[in-house]
Structure 1
Amino acid sequence: MASGVSPSTLNPQPSTSFADIEAARGRIEGAVYHSPCPRSIPLSELTGMEIFCKLDNLQRTGSFKERGARNALAQLPPEQQKRGVIAASAGNHAQALAYQGKLLATPATVVMPKFAPLVKVSNCQKLGATVVMHGKDFGEAKAHAHEIAKERGLAYIDGYDDPAIIAGQGTMGVEIVEQVPELDAVVVPVGGGGLLAGVALAVKTLRPQAKIIAVEAENVASFSAAKREGKPIRIDTHPTLADGLAIPTVGANAFEIAKDLVDRCVTVSEEQIALSILRIVELEKGVVEGAAATPLAACMSGQLAELAGKKVVLLLCGGNIDPNVLSRVVERGLVADGRLCRFTAVISDRPGGLADLARQIASAGASIKQVVHDRAFAGSDVSAVHVLCTVETRNHQHLADVRERLRSHGVQTFDSK
């Protein structure tokens, strides 16, 4: 249970059991949304799998974290509920703790690393939590939270490694098996490991033949590192769109549970995550954050070819993405998709040269978004000018066709950053 001391990576607490998950389900009943898990026709067509999406991004605070938060808070002694709780979180656990704490009249303090998305910081404050910004990464934020917990007598509730949190997250696995009883695989994002451990335990208990696929952002692959070493180890993290997975050390309890239940672990790139967010916006008409986009990214990456034609559940576990970040991510996704492109064209610096370039691009079916003239740095040929072109195209092949058309009309092009 929650305490002022974090679980040691050398001495993990007793393992969470399926009975704990069943008990957690009773505690969260009526306080946490029983999210749907519909079949997605467009994502099924896209991946060649029979895709079902568990929509925990529809929770009140936008993520699955409410499950564990409610279960942990409900088990605190009454005097501790009055005194309050504290946690370190990049955002989702913080919001869940703030909201469920508000429902139970339990004061919540959250320590968030300085990279935490602004929308998550703002939401925590709106939900009544005391927000402390501290640390360049999650590890530093967590250490500071423990200091505050000791000073003020607050219960520290670990966002991914507290047994009560793991049991709460496991309720999603129970729901999934009820909603898709013949499922073949579940693809689960992993950062600290609490969701993976809980869902894997529930699914493997109820449907042992189902495959559990863990997916990480390659910039924060702490679970893979733990698997290689046989124990949780601290890794160097790098910036990622999947900020909810940016945990430098996978949880000890979570790892002990998950290590033998996970059938495969794959990693995905930042480009694949961005493209996955775009696909969900376009095809599912939904908004997810980077962490929740990693399951689809894994299915689109070609690494899970063995799941072709199988019933596969993707955990769309969070939707708390900053609108400004979302707009940039969509643009990056368009670039990765070959639908937003940039190249430099070399044209004659004469009247009508730019107009002719525009006509050729338009006649190829592309749309010009921006052009920038560059005479000063166009090389030694003073009769030529470089034009930086940003254009919308249908895909990579269409871009190649546009550039081939320009080449056939005597216009040289080259890639631009």
Structure 2
Amino acid sequence: MTRSLPVSLRDIILASERISGRVRQTPIVRSDALSERVGAAVYLKLEHQQITGSFKLRGATNAVLSLSAAQKARGVVAASTGNHGRALAYAAKAEGSSATICMSRLVPENKVAEIRRLGANVRIIGRSQDDAQVEVDRLVQDDGMIAVPPFDDARVIAGQGSLGLEIFKDCPEAATVLVPLSGGGLAAGVAAALKAINPGIRLIGLTMERGAAMKASLDAGHPVAVEEEESLADSLGGGIGLDNRLTFSMCRDLLDDVVLLSEPEIAAGMHHAYCMEREVVEGAGAVGIAALLAGKIDVTGPVVAILSGRNVDMEQHRSVINGATASTGKDTA
């Protein structure tokens, strides 16, 4: 790669070393069912088995561990669609700091309840992540809290990139990696790690059709605002920030493609994960499987799909397994 990246392979290696012992090195397993389906080896990176149920713990932990003692004493704050808030609450508690998590009313109640259980102060603000971010900015300005953004932060991106190092270590033959795409922290970090090691590897971002902010921004050539909508892949909701500093440019430069998925396709991914792989994953975590099932990936060699999270409302999950194809829980009948 000729373009210099704001987060380097060295940054990611240092982050991986920093968080070692505080996060799980999650396994990669071969999916015989998907391999037979697409005619090539398909591996699943079981990141939904992470301690807090999603990859977000990597970036949150690296960010908190990068703070000084004085900064930790001031407390950390973030906007979240759920999983980053849960991860930051856990990481802050582990380091003796306090966390305040600002979320919109679209965040599922199961995710809000878990963040509260971890001891964080929860503030529900508006109907979008952008609304929640306004409260974060106020708390930073008025109360001196330390912001730990969910994705557009070099410490967070480097932490998420540690997942890419694990993929290469356990599956060096991978030709394509399928990565859930929202604000771009995971995609940017994983792509930065893997492209630095193997420039020929393909990185494909996967997101839902409803309110895909990064896809809309990449198409426009600059960050744009989109209206957030309910989706089975609720963790992929939220804007990327009109003042995005890092993830937009990294996704633009590193991703080979972005694929959009419908609600029925996401539901099919969740259904397959449960019935064929015996894994409970949320909609955002199932998009890699969904894209393969829908025939939306040109498979030319071994594929790794990242199952990024499991923090799904179990009533919703049950309805999907029983035939629902949308976040409302309505089935096809």
Residue of structure 2 in register with 1:102 after alignment: 93
Once the two structures are superposed, residues 163-187 of structure 1 have per-residue CA deviations (whole angstroms, 9 ceiling, x without a partner) of 1000000000011001001110000
Secondary structure of 2:228's aligned partner: coil
> Is the 8 Å Cα contact of residues 15 and 256 (structure 1) preserved in structure 2?
no
Residue of structure 1 in register with 2:274 after alignment: 281
Once the two structures are superposed, residues 184-215 of structure 1 have per-residue CA deviations (whole angstroms, 9 ceiling, x without a partner) of 00001101000000000001011111101111
Residue 252 of structure 1 pairs with residue 231 of structure 2: no
Letter matched to residue 254 of structure 2: L
Structure 1: distance between partners of 2:228 and 2:105: 14
Residue 16 of structure 1 pairs with residue 10 of structure 2: no
> Is the 8 Å Cα contact of residues 218 and 268 (structure 1) preserved in structure 2?
yes
Partner of residue 54 from structure 2, selected from 32, 51, 63: 63
Residue of structure 1 in register with 2:299 after alignment: 307
Partner of residue 41 from structure 1, selected from 21, 24, 32: 32
Residue of structure 2 in register with 1:197 after alignment: 188
Residue 290 of structure 1 pairs with residue 290 of structure 2: no
Shift of 1:333: 4.9
Q: Which runs of 5+ in 2 are unaligned?
A: none
Residue of structure 2 in register with 1:31 after alignment: 22
Task: Report matched runs for 1:156-175 at 5 Å.
Answer: 156-175=147-166
> Is the 8 Å Cα contact of residues 232 and 252 (structure 1) preserved in structure 2?
no
Task: Report matched runs for 1:193-272 at 5 Å.
Answer: 193-249=184-240, 251-272=244-265
> Is the 8 Å Cα contact of residues 38 and 299 (structure 2) preserved in structure 1?
no
Letter matched to residue 266 of structure 2: I
Once the two structures are superposed, residues 110-159 of structure 1 have per-residue CA deviations (whole angstroms, 9 ceiling, x without a partner) of 01111111111111111111111111111101111211222211001100
Shift of 1:45: 2.1
Once the two structures are superposed, residues 353-403 of structure 1 have per-residue CA deviations (whole angstroms, 9 ceiling, x without a partner) of xxxxxxxxxxxxxxxxxxxxxxxxxxxxxxxxxxxxxxxxxxxxxxxxxxx
Structure 2: distance between partners of 1:114 and 1:296: 28
Q: Which runs of 5+ in 1 are unaligned?
A: 1-13, 343-417
> Is the 8 Å Cα contact of residues 173 and 199 (structure 1) preserved in structure 2?
yes
Shift of 1:299: 1.3
RMSD of aligned residue pairs (Cα, Å): 1.6
Once the two structures are superposed, residues 62-86 of structure 1 have per-residue CA deviations (whole angstroms, 9 ceiling, x without a partner) of 0000000010001111101111100
Higher-RCO chain (CA-CA 8 Å, sequence separation at least 6): 2
Residue of structure 2 in register with 1:52 after alignment: 43
> Is the 8 Å Cα contact of residues 214 and 239 (structure 2) preserved in structure 1?
no
> Is the 8 Å Cα contact of residues 201 and 258 (structure 1) preserved in structure 2?
no
> Is the 8 Å Cα contact of residues 277 and 333 (structure 1) preserved in structure 2?
no
Percent of counterpart pairs with the same letter? Answer: 37
Structure 1 residues 125 and 341: CA distance shift in structure 2, 3 A: closer
> Is the 8 Å Cα contact of residues 187 and 251 (structure 2) preserved in structure 1?
yes
Residue 111 of structure 1 pairs with residue 102 of structure 2: yes
Runs of 4+ in 1 over 4 A off after TM superposition: none
Shift of 1:35: 0.3
Deviates more, 1:223-232 or 1:16-25: 223-232
Report the TM-score when normalising by structure 1: 0.75
Structure 1: distance between partners of 2:332 and 2:97: 51
> Is the 8 Å Cα contact of residues 81 and 238 (structure 2) preserved in structure 1?
no
Secondary structure of 2:210's aligned partner: helix
Structure 1: distance between partners of 2:215 and 2:222: 10
Shift of 1:341: 6.7
Shift of 1:162: 0.8
Structure 2: distance between partners of 1:248 and 1:159: 11
Once the two structures are superposed, residues 289-340 of structure 1 have per-residue CA deviations (whole angstroms, 9 ceiling, x without a partner) of 1111111111112221x205x21000101000011111222233589xxxx8
Once the two structures are superposed, residues 268-290 of structure 1 have per-residue CA deviations (whole angstroms, 9 ceiling, x without a partner) of 00110011100000011001111
Deviates more, 1:234-243 or 1:278-287: 234-243
Shift of 1:231: 1.4
Letter matched to residue 298 of structure 1: A
Task: Report matched runs for 1:115-154 at 5 Å.
Answer: 115-154=106-145
Once the two structures are superposed, residues 38-62 of structure 1 have per-residue CA deviations (whole angstroms, 9 ceiling, x without a partner) of 1111222233331111111011110
Structure 2: distance between partners of 1:325 and 1:248: 24
Letter matched to residue 167 of structure 1: A
Secondary structure of 1:73's aligned partner: helix
Structure with max Cα Rg:
1
Report how many aligned residue pairs link the two structures: 323
> Is the 8 Å Cα contact of residues 39 and 51 (structure 1) preserved in structure 2?
yes
> Is the 8 Å Cα contact of residues 188 and 247 (structure 2) preserved in structure 1?
yes
Report the TM-score when normalising by structure 2: 0.93
